[in-house]
Amino acid sequence: MTVTRGQCRFCGAPLSHTFANLGMSPIANNYLTEDQLGRMEHFYPLHALVCDRCFLVQLEEFESPDAIFSDYAYFSSYSTSWLDHCRRYVESATERFALGGDSHVVEIASNDGYLLQYFAERGVPVLGIEPAANVAEVAVERGIPTEVEFFGKETATNLAADRRQSLVEEERHESAAASTERAGPAMVKRWGKSPPRTWQQGRHAKPHPEQDQIGER
Ligand SMILES: [Zn+2]
């Protein structure tokens, strides 16, 4: 995505309205190492603008997403009150949308699996998308399948292609099962021939019951 200074990153309209201007600030959670303490620290404008055409609230981009999120120090699960809110939110969403084993909850910026864990507990298949590899690793360790990616057009296209491939595989499986001569116990992988790599990592580390259920259905 190309972000042009002074223009909305979503619709391209000129940005002129201040949402909140909190002055200059270093990047959040970007702690300095001991050998950086004597150096100058970068400060950036923490000035949120709101687009008057699409209402997206946004900061101007001064630092690349890769630089901010490659090794991130914020873990959502550290806050017990936040976890409590997430648990109640999941209870309410599960009931309201009648979510179950045939649903699929995808969270963008899923951090350490703080939210998806409650859907998984209820037997709802989940997928997290989280760019910070060190944070995503914690989610995978607790059994939450997580793609280490920034969410954008490319990631969305790839995930949709995986999904389509898996549906084709299921279709083939059903056709094969209908023909008793060549049937045999076919294995159907919902995500197609090659599941997303973090699912495979998850399997090597600590297989999650939901993953097995989905992978071998
Ligand atoms: Zn806009």
- Rounded to the nearest angstrom, the distance between the alpha carbon of 57 and the centre of ligand 1 is 8
52 CA to middle of ligand 1, Å? 7
Q: Compute the average pLDDT of residues 16-31.
A: 91
Of the candidate ranges 6-10, 33-37, 163-167, the one whose mean pLDDT is the lowest: 163-167
Ligand 1 center to 8 CA (angstroms): 5
Kindly state the percentage of the chain with pLDDT values over 90: 54
Q: Is the dihedral of CA 104, 214, 144, 137 positive or negative?
A: negative
For ligand 1, the distance from its centroid to the CA atom of residue 104, given in whole angstroms, is: 29
Question: How far apart are alpha carbons 52 and 68 in whole angstroms?
Answer: 27
Q: Which CATH class is domain 76-215?
A: alpha beta
19 touches 57 (CB < 8 A): yes
pLDDT band at 76 (very low <50, low <70, confident <90, very high): very high
Judge if pTM exceeds 0.85: no
| 7-16, 55-64, 91-100: range with lowest mean pLDDT | 55-64
For the chain, what percent of residues have pLDDT higher than 70? Answer: 75
Expressed in angstroms and rounded, the spacing between residue 2 Cα and the centre of ligand 1 is 14
pLDDT band at 198 (very low <50, low <70, confident <90, very high): very low
73 Cβ contact list (under 8 Å, min separation 6): 29, 30, 31
Distance from the CA of 44 to the center of ligand 1, in angstroms? 22
Half-sphere exposure of 77 (CA within 13 A, CB side): 14
Mean pLDDT, the chain, rounded, equals 80
Q: What residue segments make up the domains of the chain, in order of their start?
A: 1-63, 76-215
